[in-house]
Amino acid sequence: MSTAYRESNKVKDWINLILAVLLFISPWVLDFKGEIVPAWNAWIMGVVLAILALAEISAFAEWEEWIGGLLGVWLIIAPFVLSFATHTHALWTHVVLGVITAIVSFWSVWDYRRTPHAA
């Protein structure tokens, strides 16, 4: 794996870690901590995404990026599946951070697959 690719991917992994922290603190910052379902979803997903991002930072594995992308998709659909789409701050927090998380993670997968690797 080329050094340039690995450095580029580490930036994406750090972005995912920052997004996880933002998701985790969002119930307090955007004042939806009193809404049980969206707040707990943000806290749990924030922790899971942070652990995943730290694993990605320490050693690249394509499956970690796929899981990150799928968790991003979950964040996008969670307000509708868990019925908190009427809570504006929670809805937009989950959708926006989910879209960015999915894009960054799937971008890493795409970048990995198009970059030649040593056998």
Please give the DSSP secondary-structure letter assigned to residue 30: T
Domain ranges of the chain: 3-114
Three-class SS state of 32: coil
| pLDDT tens digits for range 46-105 | 999 999 999 989 887 888 999 999 999 999 999 999 999 999 999 999 999 999 999 999
Helices then strands (H, E): number in the chain? 4, 0
Contact 23, 49 (CB under 8 A): yes
Please give the DSSP secondary-structure letter assigned to residue 106: H
| pLDDT tens digits for range 16-38 | 999 999 999 999 999 999 999 99
Over 70: is that where the pLDDT of 3 sits?
Answer: no
State the Cα–Cα distance between residues 25 and 16, nearest whole angstrom: 14
